């Protein structure tokens, strides 16, 4: 018997900036500024893994990853 992998299409209603919710200050805020993992400028913000990251930088990186995944899916690479 052959198993098939069913691939899901990327969401058509994807809106950059709408995926991350940083309203919980206890998770996303630190009193110590460290360089952002994406742009290198100092920030007191932390991502969900507690790495220093600006929200805008994290959302931009996420949008790029989503676009690359969608393109790979459409080209049959996934």
The predicted structure's pLDDT at residue 43: 96
pTM for the predicted model, two decimal places: 0.66
The predicted structure's pLDDT at residue 35: 97
**How many other CB atoms sit within 10 Å of the CB of residue 60?**
15
Alpha carbon dihedral 23, 29, 34, 35, in 10-degree steps, equals: 0
Closest CA to 64 of 33, 23, 30, 19: 19
Closest CA to 17 of 67, 68, 51, 57: 57
Q: Is residue 11 a part of any domain in this protein? A: no
The predicted structure's pLDDT at residue 77: 61
The predicted structure's pLDDT at residue 24: 81
The predicted structure's pLDDT at residue 41: 96
Q: Is residue 57 a part of any domain in this protein? A: yes
Q: Partners of 34 in the beta sheet?
A: 43
- Domains in the chain, number: 1
Q: Is residue 6 a part of any domain in this protein? A: no
The predicted structure's pLDDT at residue 15: 62
Q: Is residue 13 a part of any domain in this protein? A: no
Residue ranges making up the domain that contains 68: 26-74
Q: Is residue 70 a part of any domain in this protein? A: yes
Q: Is residue 14 a part of any domain in this protein? A: no
Q: Is residue 52 a part of any domain in this protein? A: yes
Residues of the chain with pLDDT under 50: 1, 5, 7, 10
């Amino acid at each position: 018997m052959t198993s098939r992998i069913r691939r899901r299409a990327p969401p058509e209603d994807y809106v950059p900036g709408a995926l991350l919710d940083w309203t919980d200050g206890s998770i996303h805020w630190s009193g110590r500024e460290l360089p952002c993992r994406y742009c290198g400028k100092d920030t007191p913000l932390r991502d969900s893994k507690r790495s220093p990251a600006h929200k805008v930088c994290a959302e931009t990186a996420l949008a790029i990853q989503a676009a690359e995944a969608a393109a790979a899916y459409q080209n049959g690479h996934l």
